[in-house]
Amino acid sequence: MDRQPCIVYKGLHKADTYLYVERADDFSRVPEALLAQLGDLEVVLEIELHPERRLARADITLVMQALREEGFYLQLPPRDALGSPVEFRRRPCSDG
């Protein structure tokens, strides 16, 4: 079975943006400009990827392929049909 280690970081400058790499603190294949945009990185998850695993917002096959070929995978915030970021807000209370 195809298994691949993975460390997921969140960028502290970009909300809901996650960087997947194979080894902790190994950003050697991640472009410097991308690292600068993400700012400080914080580990949010350490997992072993395999085709049967499901990820909440990413296709496991694409993630594994990107890690093998590019050395990283970047998960961006979800977008609506018009390309705008999806925001989750509490509806205002009505006085009444």
CATH of the domain at 11: 3.10.510.20
83 — pLDDT class (breaks 50, 70, 90)? low
Report if residue 54 sits inside a domain.
Answer: yes
Q: What is the pTM of this model?
A: 0.80
Position with higher pLDDT, 20 vs 12: 20
CB 8 within 8 A of CB 47: yes
pLDDT over threshold 90, residue 7: yes
Report if residue 94 sits inside a domain.
Answer: no
Report if residue 67 sits inside a domain.
Answer: yes
Report if residue 68 sits inside a domain.
Answer: yes
User: Using one digit for the tens of pLDDT, what is the confidence trace for 60-80?
Assistant: 999 999 999 999 999 998 866
Report if residue 60 sits inside a domain.
Answer: yes
Report if residue 93 sits inside a domain.
Answer: no
Domain count, the chain: 1
24 — pLDDT class (breaks 50, 70, 90)? very high
Report if residue 53 sits inside a domain.
Answer: yes
Assign residue 54 a region: left if phi > 0, alpha if psi is -120 to 50, beta otherwise? Answer: beta
For residues 32-56, give the mean pLDDT.
94
Neighbours of 10 (CB within 10 A): 19
The domain containing residue 53 runs over which residues? 4-75
Report if residue 66 sits inside a domain.
Answer: yes
pLDDT of 88 reads 45
